Amino acid sequence: MDMQTKRGREQLKSLPFKDKLRNFFFYYKWHVIIALFAVAVIAFSLAECSMRVDDDLVITYFSEAYIDESVVEKMYGFFGYEYCIDDINADGERNVLISPYSGVDENVMAKYMTEIAAGESMAFLFDQTYYDITMQNQPESIEYACDITKNSELKELFGLGDEPLYFAVKTVYDAEQGDEMREKMHDNAVSLYNIIADDDMTAIYYGTDDVNRELITSIEDTFREYIDNINAVEQKIVEISAVCDPDVEALSEQAGETIKSGNVPAFLTDGAFYTTFENKFPYAIEDSEDISSVFDLPEGSLYYVVRSKPSGSDNLEKEELLRGNALKVLSGLRDKKR
């Protein structure tokens, strides 16, 4: 310590208390303000958490376009019905939280990334933009997804237009396994999915190029001709999700995860990916057909695959019905080719 610093400290000791305080704030004013602000934020957060009603299901709604508040209110009325979800926190109430976010600016995208990675949400509502972003970049984060607008009763109930709106159940990540409340919230999300979707036919399209939405719609309409109505709503629901990636290896990895889950009875692929699919997952193929001509496409550009019967399922009856419809589609497509 040099002599000047030593002398300064000795002079400071001799100052009256008020002068010492004034001197302290002169040098450390911003340190004190920042510290007090941090303490206030922590205290407010703890108080908010203590007063917060625990939710039995958290749904975050992401849309590029403006979200109509009246639609959200109608969703609250439906999602909170007693038969839809369980009271997982035993507080005597069934509380659903729906958080809407509109736009694709930095703040909304930051919220989207947070919720997908480690947020409270165990379910999402996505418009087409956010659904495509998710399925292109993080398909493993979604366990199930369906377009609500395919269900005419819910479409009318919520006052939705013709633009797709997807209800998606988030995957329980490895880090969340064993967390009882997270798993129960996930079960609530799955219960809602089963009520909303209850598909008669499901399939996933894997392509190396951007998906042609008109083609997917045409395929869904055609499949609807051949299947039985196995759900409890008026219309037959055909749900075809599309996963596209020019990287064949990345596409194969995503297909492998889906096949492993055993939830999908049929697949569609473009011509560029079919050979890879056939070589990598022969055990998952019971039967397949080039259906390009049915949709006026060049030969070898679109294939339909019925997957082999998965073992160890928890819902054999429903899966057998879905599988039966997948086989009926194959038979119908072959008849149409003749």
**Mean pLDDT confidence for 217-233:** 87
- When mean pLDDT is compared across 76-80, 93-97, 115-119, 310-314, the lowest value belongs to 310-314
Q: Give residue 82's pLDDT.
A: 54
Q: Give residue 79's pLDDT.
A: 81
pLDDT greater than 90 at residue 165: yes
Q: Which residue has the tokens 């199930």?
A: 144
Residue type, 67: I
Average pLDDT, the chain: 82
How many angstroms separate the CA atoms of 290 and 300, rounded?
Answer: 6
CB 238 within 8 A of CB 199: yes
Condensed to tens digits (0 to 9), the pLDDT of residues 89-117 reads 787 888 889 999 999 888 899 899 989 98
How many angstroms separate the CA atoms of 285 and 106, rounded?
Answer: 43
What does the block give as tokens for 327? 């086989």
Q: Which residue has the higher pLDDT, 52 or 301?
A: 301
How many angstroms separate the CA atoms of 177 and 240, rounded?
Answer: 29
The model's confidence at residue 206, banded by pLDDT at 50, 70 and 90, is: very high
pLDDT greater than 70 at residue 32: no
Q: Which residue has the higher pLDDT, 197 or 23?
A: 197
pLDDT greater than 90 at residue 43: no
Q: Which of 111-125, 291-305, 307-321 holds the top average pLDDT?
A: 291-305
What does the block give as tokens for 118? 């480690």
The model's confidence at residue 21, banded by pLDDT at 50, 70 and 90, is: very low
What does the block give as tokens for 18? 């008020």
Condensed to tens digits (0 to 9), the pLDDT of residues 118-146 reads 888 999 999 999 998 998 888 889 888 88
Condensed to tens digits (0 to 9), the pLDDT of residues 170-200 reads 998 888 888 888 888 888 888 888 778 777 8
Q: Give residue 309's pLDDT.
A: 85
Q: Give residue 18's pLDDT.
A: 45
- When mean pLDDT is compared across 248-257, 271-280, 310-319, the lowest value belongs to 310-319
For residues 175-207, b (16+ Cβ closer than 10 Å) or e, as one string? ebeeeeebebbbbbbebbbbbbbebbbbbbbbb
Residue type, 13: K
* CB neighbourhood size of 88 (10 A): 20
3-state SS, one letter per residue, for the chain: CCHHHHHHHHHHHCCCHHHHHHHHHHHHHHHHHHHHHHHHHHHHHHHHHHHCCCCCEEEEEEECCCCCHHHHHHHHHHHCCCCCCCCCCCCCCCCEEEEEEECCCHHHHHHHHHHHHHCCCCEEEEEHHHHHHHHHHCHHHEEEEEEHHHCHHHHHHHCCCCCCEEEEEECCCHHHCCCHHHHHHHHHHHHHHHHHCCCCEEEEEEECCCCCHHHHHHHHHHHHHHCCCCCCCCCCCEEEEEEECCCHHHHHHHHHHHHHHCCCCEEEEEHHHHHHHHHHCHHHEEEEEECHHHHCCCCCCEEEEEECCCCCCCCHHHHHHHHHHHHHHHHHHHHHHC
